[in-house]
Amino acid sequence: MFKNFSKIKYNRGLTIIELLVVVSIFVIITGISIFNYSNFNSSISTQNLADDIALTVRRAQGYAIGVRGIMQGFDNRYGVHFTINSDAQLPYNNGSNKSMIFFADIGDDLSHKYIYNYNENTGQCGLPVEGDECLEVLNIKSGDEIKNIYQYTNGSNLYQMSKEESLDIVFARPNPEPFFSDNYGELALSSVIIEVSKQDEPDAESRFITIHKNGQISVSNKRDGGN
């Protein structure tokens, strides 16, 4: 008995062209996913820094209102010191675009009140005394930085601080309203805005922390004009 081989059916597999199409689609989808994840991760990192700054300012506000005491008594003011200076030679307790200083504002000398005072020769932090007020250096460990600091007067007049300048946000009991100061003394401002973004990436998305004169603190993905 003879078999009819002409009727045998063969199962067909993938051709080279079909395989290349499938692999190409997979590579494209994977590339898009990785790119979007990188952007998402970068955005989360910047948002986390903005939230940390807002919480640190709120912490100073809470310490002052809550009458948190240190060695010098229970009537101290508390604040946060900011600068966008990126000089790597800055003293540890000076702050930079990659750190901020949480400090106790000690003493009532008008030339030093509401201003962060430190001794650049000691690098001391943790045991604040008059003239050397650092409580804690908060370093930014992510790839983000404090990019810009803006001052608003009367809600609309904008001044962008230079890297040689600094901003101190200080709270004193019993009021929740902040005092704003620069290198030279107290400032009459309606609000300040701190911009954070990815370091060395000019087109990276920014976050903006707004501290209003009435004590309100907010975080946004756009600069709100200081109102």
pLDDT at residue number 226: 57
**Tens digit of pLDDT for each residue in 88-116?**
788 888 899 999 999 999 877 777 889 99
Question: Which sequence spans correspond to the domains of the chain?
Answer: 30-220
Top CATH class of 30-220 equals alpha beta
Give pTM, 2 decimals: 0.79
Given a cut of 90, whether residue 30 has pLDDT beyond it is no
Locate 29 and state its tokens.
């989808």
pLDDT at residue number 70: 61
pLDDT at residue number 52: 96
- Residue 39 CA to residue 195 CA, distance in Å, equals 18
Given a cut of 60, whether residue 73 has pLDDT beyond it is no
Region of poorest pLDDT, from 22-26, 43-47, 63-67, 168-172: 22-26
Average pLDDT taken over every residue of the chain: 84
Query: Is residue 60 left, alpha or beta, with left meaning phi > 0 and alpha meaning psi from -120 to 50?
Result: alpha
Question: With contact defined as beta carbons under 8 Å apart, do 223 and 193 qualify?
Answer: yes
DSSP E strands in the chain: the ranges are 77-82, 99-105, 134-139, 144-153, 157-160, 167-171, 178-181, 186-187, 191-198, 207-212, 217-220
